[in-house]
Structure formats: structure tokens, C-alpha cells
Amino acid sequence: MVTIALKAAFVYYVVYWLDTFILSWQCLTRPIVIAPLAGLVMGDFHTGIVMGAALESIFMGISAIGGAIPADATTSSVIAVAYTILTGASIEEGLAIAMPIGTAMSSFGGLLTPLWASLAPFWEKLAVEANPKKFLIVNILVSFFTMPFVNAIVLFFAVAYGVEGLNSLLASLPVWVMTGLGAASGMMLAVGFAILTSMIWSGDVAIFFFVGYVLVKYAGLGTVPIAIIGAAIAISLFMSDKKLSDLKTSLTNTQVNVNDDEEDFF
Amino acid sequence: MVTIALKAAFVYYVVYWLDTFILSWQCLTRPIVIAPLAGLVMGDFHTGIVMGAALESIFMGISAIGGAIPADATTSSVIAVAYTILTGASIEEGLAIAMPIGTAMSSFGGLLTPLWASLAPFWEKLAVEANPKKFLIVNILVSFFTMPFVNAIVLFFAVAYGVEGLNSLLASLPVWVMTGLGAASGMMLAVGFAILTSMIWSGDVAIFFFVGYVLVKYAGLGTVPIAIIGAAIAISLFMSDKKLSDLKTSLTNTQVNVNDDEEDFF
Amino acid sequence: MVTIALKAAFVYYVVYWLDTFILSWQCLTRPIVIAPLAGLVMGDFHTGIVMGAALESIFMGISAIGGAIPADATTSSVIAVAYTILTGASIEEGLAIAMPIGTAMSSFGGLLTPLWASLAPFWEKLAVEANPKKFLIVNILVSFFTMPFVNAIVLFFAVAYGVEGLNSLLASLPVWVMTGLGAASGMMLAVGFAILTSMIWSGDVAIFFFVGYVLVKYAGLGTVPIAIIGAAIAISLFMSDKKLSDLKTSLTNTQVNVNDDEEDFF
Amino acid sequence: MAKKILSQEENSVLKSMFLRSHTVFINFNMVKMEANCFTITMAPAIESIYGDDIEEKKEAYLRHQNFFNTHAVALSFIAGLAYAMEKEKKETGAVDGQTIESIKAALMGPTAGMFDSLFFNCLRVIAAGIGIGLCADGNFLGTIIFILLYGVSQSVFKYILINLGYVYGTSFIDMVFETGLMTSLTKSASVLGLIMVGAMTAQMVNVPLNWTLTVGQTSVVVNDIINQIFPGLLGVVLLFTLVSLIKKGKRPTQLIFGILAIAILGALIGIF
Amino acid sequence: MAKKILSQEENSVLKSMFLRSHTVFINFNMVKMEANCFTITMAPAIESIYGDDIEEKKEAYLRHQNFFNTHAVALSFIAGLAYAMEKEKKETGAVDGQTIESIKAALMGPTAGMFDSLFFNCLRVIAAGIGIGLCADGNFLGTIIFILLYGVSQSVFKYILINLGYVYGTSFIDMVFETGLMTSLTKSASVLGLIMVGAMTAQMVNVPLNWTLTVGQTSVVVNDIINQIFPGLLGVVLLFTLVSLIKKGKRPTQLIFGILAIAILGALIGIF
Amino acid sequence: MAKKILSQEENSVLKSMFLRSHTVFINFNMVKMEANCFTITMAPAIESIYGDDIEEKKEAYLRHQNFFNTHAVALSFIAGLAYAMEKEKKETGAVDGQTIESIKAALMGPTAGMFDSLFFNCLRVIAAGIGIGLCADGNFLGTIIFILLYGVSQSVFKYILINLGYVYGTSFIDMVFETGLMTSLTKSASVLGLIMVGAMTAQMVNVPLNWTLTVGQTSVVVNDIINQIFPGLLGVVLLFTLVSLIKKGKRPTQLIFGILAIAILGALIGIF
Ligand SMILES: OC[C@H]1O[C@H](O)[C@@H](O)[C@@H](O)[C@@H]1O
Ligand SMILES: OC[C@H]1O[C@H](O)[C@@H](O)[C@@H](O)[C@@H]1O
Ligand SMILES: OC[C@H]1O[C@H](O)[C@@H](O)[C@@H](O)[C@@H]1O
């Protein structure tokens, strides 16, 4: 049991970590890739492949756009495969536990969100050192111990000591801690936008911040139409300035010519 | 009965009239203020206070924003208190009649709307006399005989001769008079806007009237987002003019310099 | 039977064709006009008039705005009258068949849509010849053989050989032909817009095409509010250019004056 | 835009305006709504600014007799601003009447929305909640607390905002004047004003035509047809008819009684 | 913009145009819709203006063979306006072809909406209502009244509006020309025209892809995916493909038959 | 805007950037999201451009440590563009840091929407569909095909787009510079950037106040009242509080821990 748990945690950890560096995002961590690999490592390749097909179907529709992930497809795939191989349960039984585990894992992941967020200033400091090699290396080193690491540990315990353990762990935290962490994540986004705003803000165009704002909140538009309308505004302003600068150029030239003429005249 | 009715009318009249001059709007006329006072005058302060609490709860949600008042909280509070004290009915019975009376009173108030509206030109004439003292005094004098006065009379009869009297009074008017008066109020608003429009209208920006119009009628926006979008437009136009005037200034200065140079040259 | 069918086809043909040239569109072809005329020609004026009233009521609500016609009121009116006169059926029975026939006829008309569309280049070529007399005459000649002609033939067969014939004719075409023709009509519209676009397109204002586009697709506005908003934009741009040109004029004049002064000076 | 130190006269004008600004609903009517209060509130400012210039005073009074409507507390802010603008108009000629109109028109709608929810829907409900608790036990303190929390605090905000409007307005106008862009400001203010008047017309003006045309066997709801052409078309037509009548010199009296007559006549013949 | 007194030639051109403008639906098709009628209506104007200048005439005819669609009565107004603009183009060079295009494009959509509801949905329904009442009793007068109320009155409006379009158009263009702002007008008209073409493309162009991609055990409705990227993306792509083909000199014939072929082929292989 | 022939150095920088751009999710967090990847991706460009100028390098690194979020493939395009802009900034001074910021901010939202549906919702689903079919039969080829169709092809697109962003960006900026309109470009880019930041703030920032004020017998949901005044007002207030703290020199660390503390404290006393 512990061996299988170790193997499960290991394959999860390696694949998830690799996904950050090669190919492109959310490719290796999809059930259809990781489940076969987990099966291979745990000694039942065939079960891994077949479960990979089923798990991919289950998690295909659950999209992870814009930073929010409703259920963690990767951990639950590994656990489901491990469970099936471990208990000799049928594939169907294995699949049945995938979704509840995925949801639990993803809400556990949500718990840690403020932790990673709190690293933001550290990264900024590091970046400003203007030492790109160091920045890259520290990023890689830290990436060893973030999400995949924490998840791998949880995954190990989950496989070794059962799903109940996981649930009771979450339940042992006071409710207000979880609520507070949840509230923090929506507010922390404002820090990034605030830095951005403070860089491009200027009094005479400030109102446009609110134009974008009300187009979302009152007119219910999304970013694509707003970008188009915004581009039209920006282009119009630019073109109007261009006309002004053309006029300036032409008038200045005229003046010079006037002077030239006068000089010729004398 | 008639004494109580007189007292009720009196307390209503004084408090409503005062509300126009001190503190701020719709404070003294709220049930929680007027009901205790009515109780006090009619000799049962405690009943007034307790009914004030209940009446305030009933009328709290009925808002009077934008000039339309669905039910008249003030008159019905006074009538309800008077009725309870008068008939020795239970407070519950007193409360039961409050809402129907409030609705009747407010539809009666609506009847008179065009009458007050028809005074508008009189006020304008008076204002143009540029005699502020006279304007203030006439306003105060007229305010003696408007809404609170009329309502006080109705209230007197309602308490003295019952609610049925009020209803039959309303019913005795031909329907088309009420309909016509109702129709007039929506149209009279156009007079105020027309004066406003004729003052700020000018051909080259006229289209913006319709921009505001369609943003309400077709895009379903309210005044806040429209004000923000409008401000963005106004600021952009202003800034573009500013650039033009800056250019003009800079070019004029250059010219002057050119001339200066030439003068130096000779 | 064949005589009546001929007469029906004839009256339909003449009236529909005339409608293209006199009075105004969709006047003579309305049931209330064509049904009495059909009755007259087929020998039962009264039935024609009465059925005209009923048919007009039926088809009144079916609007034909923007180029799409859900049911063909004209053909079905003629057929319904012919059927009633021919079979001695009651007026009610005659009316009963009007709507299904109208729908069939209009979907048959839809079939031919791409055919007429394919003539577009021919017309363009003809127009560019700059021979207006020829253009008019060819138009008239072709109009003899388009919609009303085809419909008259169908109408003839429908009356002569029954509605089943019409249905089976449509059914005999492979489904994909009808689907393809249907698909083509929505796409062919793009040709007209493309010509228009290529004429008024220019890089610096191109974005406004998409402004119009998103106001329809995302903000759900119709052409009226968009035209008003667009007019506001166009007027603002124009006014800003006007200010620029005024400035230019005033500056140029100043310069001339400066020179004039100088010349005076010498 | 440095904070201005107010002169004694300015202070006393503002104080008097503050007191007068309580009469928000004095002779309130559907044509001009809060115009009477606005005139009364502006009187000390107008008198102090225009002194003996009777013509300018008349114009100013007429200006502030126009349709006005917003929340009672917001009215004070706008009045403070209007004071600043009138002063600028007289002293530097930098602002004209149209700008003042436009800015007033632009501010009504949004401030109404914000202040109504802030004071009427929020502060009032809280104050009443506390008061009700006490009154239900027969304790008159509930009433007193309600008056303090709601009425008195609204008065305090009025006082703060009328000063804020004046100071902020003055410094804004100074800035514009220094850059010599007053005409541009007027035009821009007109644009914003017109947008808001258009929006308010769309929201508030209503010609409740209720006329079903029945000819033969069919009936047409005329208003539906008209609104299909352009929603609220009748209201727009009414407005511009009135505008053109005003430009032709018709007095508001005539317009109002005309409307009243038409409305009642219309109701009599059954089209309203 | 003073009212112009029309010369005899102008009057006779307008009269001829009025008569011709009745052919709204002559050889109507989905590509150009009412273009043939517009060409026919413009012919007297073009002949009168350009006389023997065959090149300019060709251009003008081509211009008025473009896609056109609005209500029959509104068409007359726009034709009157186009006459005024063509005249200005020839006589003063103040207007160019693109401006004429843009203004036509800008006016189609809104006039269609307004006139459709005014005439087709309102006047027609009223006229039919009256007519039906009489016809139901077997009285042919119902038909005649319908023709008078609906058909004849539309004709009358066409007559009035074609003149209005011409007179109003001329003075507007004169004004612009005097101030030497023609390029600006062209650009502004293009902006409005493009907005309207964009809007009409969004409303009318439709690529009815009906293709479900089934691979393995999943199936994807391709059109849904595409519309998620940008609603109506295929229509936009089609439009700009056509625009670039036109710029490369492809003739409309080729485009139309290309589309027809693709549509039928697509239907055959099951993607439409 | 002619196509530029890239120098060898440019090519090698772009190649290195391409490889680094795969780390989209490295140390991803809710404050800066993909900023670390963006910094890592920009490093070769920054090093190549600014060489020994340590101050400018610091600024550049800080600039590309800002909040960033879009789809993995779109990130490459924006990085290519940012490379072009940084180069222009150094070589000609034509672009400044604020312009770069604004353009990045303006591009995030729309590219996220488009690329998410293109790659994540479309290509991925198709690739998975094919893979599932094979895997269901126990065939590992399904997995390999999925990786090729989805992962590898995304990489290929990243490669193409990073180059496209660089080439297109350079020539655009050259054009602007020649006409001497850089300030105008900056201002226009700021306008677009601010609109997008406003839009994204509206969509994403959320202060989940969950506070019901119960006084006496009534209870008020505070957040409802606040949103009535201006929807999402608390988020806007939070944002501008942060902006002013940043302008006062507060470090992001402090802001983040401050928010964390307030959130947990708030949850403890029950207002979240
Ligand atoms: O929406 C843009 C982007 O947001 C986050 O970064 C993630 O959810 C990505 O998957 C997504 O592409
Ligand atoms: O909505 C603004 C304003 O409108 C009217 O004047 C009244 O209903 C006020 O109570 C309200 O504050
Ligand atoms: O909508 C404008 C116009 O479109 C098409 O040309 C036809 O349906 C007409 O009946 C209609 O008036």
C-alpha cells in the first residue's frame, strides 16, 4: 500500500513538474497522458490506458479557464488508477471515486492559493536584481516545492490512508480560515491591477478606466467587444493627434519657406 | 370624533409643513415620528409610539424615489392612530386600515399633481422679478395651502366621516378626468426638459441628445453608466480642443519670434 | 380545369408583373386586391371579393421585411380562389388550403433565390455599359421571365394537377441541393457587402466596421441606435477636422498679414 | 487646484444657502420638480454676485428656475458648484449660462441614483431599524434616535457638501480659465448635458397614448406601432415641439395649460 | 441652407426618377437586392449630369449598381440625395464616389427599420383593416380603398421625398464645400458607412455551417466552437476573403458562382 | 511596413524566448498570475538589449514582473511584441515603459478569450476525442496522438507567433517613430490599456463582503446597498486604495499581507 502510494505520488510529481517546462500547458497533466503513465509505474499499464480514456471523457468538459479550476483532473486520475490497482476494484469503481476526490483536491489547492500569492513580492524583488540566471534557477527550485509537491504529499496520504483522511483534514480547519483565504484570493488580484493602473494612469484619460468598467458591469459586454470599442477610441485619438502634427509640420515648413522667400527677396 | 379629527388634521398639517423647512426631507413625516406625535396630541402617547414602530415597519419598503409615491405613509399613520384611539380598537385593527387608506390618499394626491404643475409658470414669472425675498415669502405662503393643507382637510373628513367617504369622493369623479390628469403629469415633465434643452442645444452637438436617449431605450443603461460614458466623450472633446489651443499658442509664439529675429536681423 | 388553371396563372402573372411598375410595392399583390381580380377573371367576382377579405386577414400578420418571406400570400390567394371556384368547395375549405400552399410556394421560391442571385454580375456588366435605355429594357424583358413567370407555371400545374404534384416535385430534389441553395443565399449577401466595404474601406477607420459588428453581436443593438451612435462619432470627427481647418485658415491669414505688414514696412 | 480660503462673505452666503437648501420639496411639482428650492437656495449667491445688475440677476434667477431633480443632499453639492460657476461668470466671464445649465443637467441623474441608495435606502433603513426596536417597547427615544441618525446627519452632509461643491468648483474653473479654454469647456459641458437630458427624457417623459384603432375587423394599438418606429417617439416629438414653441417665444404657462387641455380632452375622446 | 429653386431640367429629372423609383423589386436578388431599381432610378440623373462623359457615366452606373436595400419609399429619398451628390461631384468636384457610397450605406439600415414599420406595419394594416370590412360584405370598394390608402399614398410620399432628398442634399453639400472640408466629410461618412456595413454584416451575412466533427467517442459542433472565438466569425472571414478577392480584380460573377459551388458541395459532403 | 530580415542575434534571442515561454505556469499565483513566466521569457531580450545598463535592466525586469494573464500560446505573441518594443525603447527612445505596459494590458483580455476557445476548448477536445477512441481499446497510441496534436502543435504555434509578434511589432513601431507621434501613441495605448484594466477589474476583482447588519428588527445586506450605489464599488475602492498606497511607496509585499490579514480577520468577525 505504501509502496503504491509512493509510486503514485512520484509519477504525479514528476509529470506535473515536467508539464511546466516542456510542450505546453495542461498537456502531460491531462488524464489521458498521466493515467497510462501511472498505470505503467504501478505495474498495470493496460488498466492505466483504459482508465485514461474514461477519465479524459469525464474531465474533458471541466474547463480551467481564467485561473479557476473546479476539479483537479490530474490528482484524481492518479488516485483513481492507484485505487483500482491497489484494491483490485473494477474500473467502474475506480472511476466513481475520481470526481469527489478531484473536487476535494481542488478545494484543498484553493486553500493554498494565498500562500503562493504571498510569494509575489519575493519574485518581484528577485526580478529587480536583474540577474536572470538566478531568477530562473530560483524559480525552478521553488517550483520543486510548490503545487506539485504539496499535492504529491496529499496524494500519498490519500492513497495510503484513504480518502476519509483527506476529508477529515480539511474539516479540522476552522471554517473562518477557509472563508478568509477564499476572500483573500479575489482581493489579491487587485494588487496586480493596481500596479498596472498606477503605471498607465494619467488624469486626463482616467475616465476611460470607468468606461471599461461600466461596459462590463452595466452593459454586460466581455473583453473582446470592449477591446474593439477601445481600439476604435484609441485609434481615433491617435489619428486626431496625427492630423494635428501634420498641420504643425506643414505650417512650420510654410514659415520656413516664408523666411526663405524673404531671404531670396533681399 | 370631530375633535379628534381636528387634532389629527392639525398635527398632520404642522408636522408635514415643518418637514419642508427643517432637518431634511421625509424625516418628520415618517410614521416613526408622526405617529407618536399624533398619539401625544390625541391623548394616548404610548399607543402612538407603539403604532409608530409597527407603521414604520409596514411603510419602510415603500420607497418614494424619483417623484412617485405609491402609498402615503404620513396620512395613513395619522388616520390609523386616530382610528385606534377613537374606536378603542386594537392596535392590529388600526394597522389593518393603514395601507388601504395610504393608497387611496396617494391616488388622491396624484389627482392634484397637475394643479401644482400648473403653478410652474407662476413661479417662473415670480423668480424673474429678481426679488428673492418676495419669492421666498410667496413660496412659504403658498406652501400653507398646498399638499399638506389639502391632505389635512381630507384627513379630517376621513377621520370624522369614515374611509368610505373618501372612496366615494374619488369614485364620483368621471374616469376620464383622472385619466387625463394622469396622462398630463408624464407629459408635463417634458416642459422642464424642453426649457433645459433649448438652453444647451446647438446644431453640431445635437446628436448627443439622441445618444443619451438610445443608450437608455435600446441599450437599457441607467444614468450612472451613461454619465461615465458621457464624461469620457466630453473630456476627450475638451482635451482635443486643448491640444489645438496649445498648438495655436506655440505657433503664434514662433511667429512672433520669427518676426523678432527678423527685426534683430535688420 | 385547365382553363381555370390558365386563367389563374394569367391573372397572377399580369398582376404580379404590374406590381413591379406601378403604385408601390406589395400593393396589387396583396390578397385583398388579387383575390377579387382572380375571382373576376374566373367568373365568380363575389367569391373573389369575400375570399380576398378573409385571405388578407390571414396573411396580414405575415410580414415580409428584410427580404425573407415566410409564406407567399399572392400565389396562395389565387390558388385558394381557383380551388373554391373549381371544386365548388365552401369558402372555408378554400381558405384551409391557402396557408400550406403559401408555405410550399415560398420554399419553392427560396429554391430559386441563388438563381436570381447569379444574375447579379450580369446586371452589373450591363449597367457599366452606360446605356440606360438598354438597361431598362433588358430589366423589363428579364422581369417577364423571373419570379412571376416561374410562379405562374407552378401555379398552373398546382391548380391543374393538384397540390400533391407540387409537393412531390419539391420532394424529388435531393435534400442536399435544397440545403446547399439555402446555405448559398446567406453567404451571397456577403458579396454585396464586400463590394461596399472595398469601396469605403481605409486602414485608419477600418476598426469601425468591427464597432458596428460588435454592437449588433454583443450589445444586441439594432440599426437605428447604431446609426445614431455612429452619427455622433462621424459628426464629432467632422467637427474636430473643422476646428483644425479653421485654425489653419486663421493661421495662414495671420502669416499673410505678417508678410503684408512687412512689405508695408519696407 | 489648491484649497481656497473662503472670504467672510462667501462663508455667510454658503451658510445661508445651506439653511435654504432644506426646502427641497417646497411647492414641488412635476414640471420643475425641485426648481423652487434651487432658486431659493441660489438667491443669496445671486444677490451677492450680481448686486445691482438687475438684468443679469433676472437671467440667473430664470436659469435656476429650470427643471431640477436630485436627492436632497446632492442638491446642496450642486448648489455649491453653481455658486462657484455664477461667480466665475460674473467676475471673469469665463463661464456662461449654458455651461452652468449643462453641468447642472449632467449631474442630476447620477447623483439622484447614488444619493437615493445611500441615504434613502440605506441610512434611513438603518435608522428606522434602530428606532423601531425602541418604539416597539413604547420608548419615545426610538423616535429621537431616528431623527438624529437620519434627519440630522443628512443636514450635516448637506453642510459639508455645499462647501465642497463651492471650493472644488472654483478651483476647477480657475484651472480651465488659466488655460483659456472656456469655449471648449462650454461645448464639452453641453455634450454631457445633452446626453443626460436625452437619457432623462427617455426615462421620464411619457405620452401614455392608449388608442386602439379599430377599422373593419382589425384593430391596431397605435402606440405599439409608433414605438416600433422609434421607442418613445411621441415623447421625443412632444419635447421638440415644446422646444420649438419656446424658441418661438411661447411662455411655459401656455405650454402647461396646453398639455393639460390636450390630456383631458384626449382622455375624454378616449385616446389616453 | 436656403431652399433652392429648381431649374426645369432638375424638375424633369426628378419626375422621371420618381416614376422609375417604383420598380423597387425589379429583378430583386439576394446579392444586390434593390440595386437594379436604384440604377434605373438614377439613370435620368446620371445622363443629365454627365452627358457625354462616358467614363464618368460608367463609374456612376457601377456605383449605383451596388448592394442596396431599404423600404420602397425611403429609396426615393436616398435617390434624391444621390442625385444632389452626383451633381456636386461633377460640377464642383466637392464630393467623391466614396462619400456617395458611404452615405448610401449609412442610410439603408435605419431608414429600412423606420419606413417598414411606418408603411408596411402601420399604414398597410390600417388600409387593409378598412378594406377587409367592406370586402367581407362582397363590396369591391374595399379593394379600391385599400389601393388608394396604401398604394397611392406610398406613391405620393415617394414623390415628396425624392424632391426633399434632392433639395436638402444640395444645400448640405454646398455648405460643406464652401468650408473646404470635403475630405473630412468623406472620412466621416466612411466611418458611419463602415459602422453600418459592419452592423448589417452582423445581422444578415450567415454561413450556416452545420458540421459536427465526431472523432473517437466525442463530437464537436464546429460552428459552436467558432462562434465562441468570435460570434459570426465565419461570416466575417467570408466577407474579408471576398473583399481581398475583389481587390485582386476578381469579378462578382466569379465570387457568386464560387459561393454557389461551395455551398452545394458543402451540402453534398454534409457540412452545411 | 516591410518584412524585416532578422539578424542572427535576434534569431537566437527569439529562439531562447520561445523555449522559456513554455513555463507559463511556473510559480503561478493569483497576484501576478503568469508574470514569472513573462519575466523568464523576456530575460534573453532584456539582456541582449540593455547589456550592461543595470538601471534600465532593473526597470525592464520590474516591468515584466507585472500582473500578466493570457493563454499560453498568446503569451508568446505578446512576448515577441514586447521584445520589439523594448528594443525600440533602447535604440531610438521612441517607446517608453508606459506604452509597453498599456499595450500588454490591452492585449491580455481579448487574446485570452480567443486563444482559450481556439486551443483549450477546440483543439484539445478534438485531440482528446481521437486519443480516447484508441485508449479505450487499450492502445497507448491514443496518448501519443493526443500529445502530438495538442501539446506539440501548441508549441509550434508559440514558435510562429513569437516571431510574428517581433516582426510585426518592430515595423509598426518604426512607422510611428518616423512620423514623430510617440507621445500620441503612448496616450492612445494608455486609453486602450485603461479601458481593458477597467474591464478586467470589473470581471475579476471581487470583495466578497458577506455582512448582514441587523439593527433592531431590520437587517440590511450591506453588500447589496453598496452595489446599488455602484456595482462592485468595494472592488474599485480597494483598487484605488492600493494604487494610492503604491504611489506612496508601499511595497507589494505589504499590500498582499495586508489583504491576507484583513481577509482572515474579516472572516473571523464574520463580515466575509
Ligand atoms: O484565460 C486565460 C488563462 O487564464 C489562466 O492563466 C489559466 O486558466 C489559463 O488556462 C488561461 O488560458
Ligand atoms: O430620485 C431623486 C429624487 O426624486 C424626487 O425628487 C424625490 O422622489 C426624491 O426623494 C428623490 O431623491
Ligand atoms: O427592410 C427593408 C426592405 O427589405 C427588403 O427589400 C424587402 O423585404 C422590403 O419589403 C423591405 O422594406
Q: What is the pLDDT of residues A37-47, one digit of tens each?
A: 999 998 999 99
C-alpha–C-alpha distance, residues C66 and C80, integer Å: 27
- pLDDT tens for residues F30-42? 888 999 999 999 9
E228, closest residue in chain F (CA to CA): F117
Q: Establish whether residue D33 lines the binding site of ligand 2, counting it when its CB lies within 6 angstroms of any ligand atom.
A: yes
Predicted local distance difference test score (pLDDT) of residue A255:
55
Tell me the CB-side half-sphere exposure of residue D247, using CA atoms within 13 A: 13
- pLDDT tens for residues A43-64? 999 999 999 988 887 777 654 4
Q: Does A259 touch chain F (CB under 8 A)?
A: no
pLDDT, mean of residues B133-145 = 92
C-alpha–C-alpha distance, residues E68 and E203, integer Å: 15
Are C229 and B240 a contacting pair at CB < 8 A? Answer: no
pLDDT bracket for residue F187 (50, 70, 90): confident
Among A97, A88, A78, A54, residue whose Cα is nearest residue A5: A78
Count CB-CB contacts under 10 A for residue B266.
7
Question: Looking up cell 478586467, which residue turns up?
Answer: F200
Predicted local distance difference test score (pLDDT) of residue F11:
94
Range in B52-56, B228-232, F172-176 the model is least confident about: F172-176
Most confident range (mean pLDDT) of A65-79, C235-249, F118-132 is C235-249
Is the reported ipTM for this assembly greater than 0.85? no
Where is F219: in which H helix or E strand? strand F218-221
Gyration radius of chain E over CA positions:
23
- pLDDT tens for residues B144-200? 888 888 888 888 888 887 656 655 666 677 888 878 877 887 788 788 888 888 888
Q: Does F112 touch chain A (CB under 8 A)?
A: yes
C262 burial type by CB count under 10 A (0-12 exposed, 13-18 middle, 19+ buried): middle
Q: Where are the beta strands (DSSP E) in chain A?
A: none
Predicted local distance difference test score (pLDDT) of residue B62:
57
Q: Does A208 touch chain B (CB under 8 A)?
A: yes
pLDDT, mean of residues D1-10 = 74
Share of chain D above pLDDT 90, in %: 46
pLDDT, mean of residues E226-255 = 88
* Average pLDDT for chain E: 87
Predicted local distance difference test score (pLDDT) of residue F161:
93
Q: How much distance in Å is there from the Cα of A29 to the middle of ligand 1?
A: 15
- pLDDT tens for residues C115-147? 888 888 899 999 999 999 999 999 999 988 888
C-alpha–C-alpha distance, residues C55 and F115, integer Å: 54
For residue E143, list chain C residues with Cβ-Cβ distance below 8 A: 32-33, 36, 49, 52
Res A135 pLDDT > 90: yes
Domain boundaries, chain E: 8-199, 205-268
Tell me the CB-side half-sphere exposure of residue D205, using CA atoms within 13 A: 32
Of D217, D218, D230, the CB nearest to C224: D230
Res B265 pLDDT > 50: no
Q: Establish whether residue F69 lines the binding site of ligand 1, counting it when its CB lies within 6 angstroms of any ligand atom.
A: yes
* Average pLDDT for chain B: 81
Helix pair A31-42, F124-135: axis angle to 10 deg: 40
- pLDDT tens for residues A204-237? 889 999 999 999 999 999 888 998 999 999 999 9
- pLDDT tens for residues D91-134? 888 788 888 998 898 888 888 888 887 788 778 877 887 888 88
SS3 at position C123: helix
C-alpha–C-alpha distance, residues D128 and A2, integer Å: 64
Res D181 pLDDT > 60: yes
Res F217 pLDDT > 80: no
**Residues D252, D253, D257: CA angle, nearest 5 degrees:** 115
The cell numbers describing E32, all together, are: 444586390
Predicted local distance difference test score (pLDDT) of residue B68:
45
pLDDT bracket for residue E50 (50, 70, 90): very high
Q: Establish whether residue E114 lines the binding site of ligand 3, counting it when its CB lies within 6 angstroms of any ligand atom.
A: no
Res C56 pLDDT > 80: yes
Q: Establish whether residue F200 lines the binding site of ligand 1, counting it when its CB lies within 6 angstroms of any ligand atom.
A: no
Q: How far is CA C179 from CA B177, B250, E113, E236, in A?
A: 61, 67, 29, 21
The cell numbers describing F245, all together, are: 498606497
Predicted local distance difference test score (pLDDT) of residue F45:
96
Count CB-CB contacts under 10 A for residue D95.
25
pTM of the model: 0.78
Predicted local distance difference test score (pLDDT) of residue B263:
43
Q: Judge contact between B23 and D151, C-beta under 8 A.
A: yes
In this complex, whether C and B touch, counting 3 or more CB pairs under 8 angstroms, is yes
Neighbours of chain B (3+ CB pairs under 8 A): A, C, D, F
**Bigger pLDDT: B90 vs F156:** F156
pLDDT, mean of residues D141-150 = 92
Q: Does B214 touch chain A (CB under 8 A)?
A: no
- As beta bridge partners, residue E214 has E219
Q: How far is CA C152 from CA C142, C211, E30, E263, in A?
A: 15, 45, 21, 28
Res D30 pLDDT > 70: yes
Atom of ligand 1 nearest to the CA of F70: 2
pLDDT bracket for residue A112 (50, 70, 90): confident
Q: Establish whether residue C220 lines the binding site of ligand 3, counting it when its CB lies within 6 angstroms of any ligand atom.
A: no
Res B66 pLDDT > 50: no
Residues in chain B: 266
Res F78 pLDDT > 90: yes
In this complex, whether F and D touch, counting 3 or more CB pairs under 8 angstroms, is yes
Predicted local distance difference test score (pLDDT) of residue E13:
96
The cell numbers describing C102, all together, are: 403559401
- pLDDT tens for residues D52-94? 899 999 999 999 999 999 999 999 999 999 999 999 899 888 7
Res C65 pLDDT > 50: no
C-alpha–C-alpha distance, residues C22 and E152, integer Å: 9
pLDDT, mean of residues C245-265 = 61
Q: How much distance in Å is there from the Cα of E111 to the middle of ligand 3?
A: 10
F195, closest residue in chain B (CA to CA): B232
Q: CA torsion angle for E164, E170, E172, E174 (degrees, to 10)?
A: -160
Q: Where are the beta strands (DSSP E) in D29-176?
A: none
Res C48 pLDDT > 50: yes
Among E26, E36, E129, residue whose Cα is nearest residue C30: E129
Distance of CA C234 to the CA centre of its chain: 29
Predicted local distance difference test score (pLDDT) of residue F112:
84
- pLDDT tens for residues B206-236? 999 999 999 999 999 988 899 899 999 998 9
Of F118, F122, F136, the CB nearest to E217: F136
- pLDDT tens for residues E54-102? 999 999 999 999 999 999 999 999 999 999 999 989 988 878 898 898 8
B246 φ, ψ (degrees, to nearest 5): -60, -45
- pLDDT tens for residues C154-203? 888 888 877 556 556 666 778 888 788 778 877 877 887 888 788 788 88
Share of chain B above pLDDT 90, in %: 26
Predicted local distance difference test score (pLDDT) of residue F95:
85
Res C14 pLDDT > 60: yes
Q: Are strands D218-221 and E212-215 parallel, antiparallel or unpaired?
A: unpaired
Count CB-CB contacts under 10 A for residue C107.
15
C-alpha–C-alpha distance, residues B245 and D172, integer Å: 18
Res E1 pLDDT > 50: no
Q: How much distance in Å is there from the Cα of E21 to the middle of ligand 2?
A: 54
Q: How much distance in Å is there from the Cα of C222 to the middle of ligand 3?
A: 15
- Taken in order A92, A94, A97, A99, the sign of the CA dihedral is negative
- pLDDT tens for residues A151-202? 888 888 888 877 556 556 666 778 888 788 778 877 877 887 888 788 788 8
Domain boundaries, chain C: 2-201, 202-266
C-alpha–C-alpha distance, residues B18 and B28, integer Å: 8
**Bigger pLDDT: E21 vs F122:** E21
Predicted local distance difference test score (pLDDT) of residue F144:
93
Res E243 pLDDT > 50: yes
Range in A237-241, B246-250, D238-242 the model is least confident about: B246-250
**Bigger pLDDT: E179 vs C221:** C221
Are F130 and E225 a contacting pair at CB < 8 A? Answer: no
Share of chain C above pLDDT 70, in %: 85
Q: How much distance in Å is there from the Cα of B209 to the middle of ligand 2?
A: 23
**Bigger pLDDT: C60 vs E34:** E34
pLDDT bracket for residue F94 (50, 70, 90): confident
- As beta bridge partners, residue D221 has D212
C-alpha–C-alpha distance, residues E223 and E244, integer Å: 24
Q: Which ligand is nearest to the CA of E111?
A: 3
Share of chain E above pLDDT 70, in %: 94
pLDDT bracket for residue F109 (50, 70, 90): confident
Predicted local distance difference test score (pLDDT) of residue D45:
96
